[in-house]
Amino acid sequence: MPFGAGLQHAIGRGVPYGIWGGYALTDQPMLRYSDRLPVSLFPESMPRLLLNLRNVPEDEREEVLELMARHHIECYQTPPGPLGITAGGIWLRERDDYPRARKLMDEYQAERARRARAEHDQAVREGRAETLGTAMRRRPVRTLLYIGLAIFILAIFFGPVVALFRAGS
């Protein structure tokens, strides 16, 4: 096959490759990188991340660990990294447990969202919920700094546009 014939054949078949949407130079369909790796790199018993612990409250972390223990799903926790790059996580020891653990997590998170919504609604009814006004009264300097920063950023973005319109008039 002459050079370029494979490309024409691939374009005719529409075999894309890469993230830039080019076309393969052969008549063989391209495989994803993970499809070309040896299977031994990803053993079936490899742990699977269940929950990334970034911005997860302590009580939620404890409840998830209790939930997994109650349903006899083995898991362990990794600590956050020292520089704050990684947040730690809750990992399942067996990949086969993931579908069952995911179902339990979905049910748990739906229940937790209902509970949090109810607590917030109760706080609003009792006047304890934080509003913009209460935040401004509690931290006036911080609020004024944020407002000033927002105005400064808007001025940087829209200043040149205003200057162009004034120059054009």
- pLDDT for residue 167: 83
Task: Give, in order, the Cα–Cα distances in Å from 128 to each of 13, 56, 117, 141.
Answer: 64, 23, 14, 22
Q: How many Å apart are CA 54 and CA 26, to the nearest integer?
A: 44
Give me the phi and psi of 83, to 5 degrees please: -100, 5
- pLDDT for residue 60: 95
Q: What burial class does residue 10 get, using C-beta atoms within 10 Å of its C-beta: 0-12 exposed, 13-18 middle, 19+ buried?
A: buried
Residues of the chain with pLDDT under 50: 1-35, 37, 39
The conformation of residue 31, written as its DSSP 8-state character, comes to P
- pLDDT for residue 86: 87
What six digits make up the tokens of 77?
A: 């926790």
- pTM comes to 0.57
Q: What is the CA radius of gyration of the chain?
A: 27
**HEC-encoded secondary structure of 4-15:** CHHHHHHHHHCC
According to CATH, the superfamily of the domain at 44-126 is Hypothetical protein rpa1041 (3.30.70.1530)
Render pLDDT for 127-166 as a digit per residue (tens, 0 to 9). Answer: 888 888 888 889 999 989 999 999 999 999 999 998 888 8
Q: Where are the alpha helices (DSSP H) in the chain?
A: 5-13, 33-36, 58-70, 98-126, 132-138, 140-168
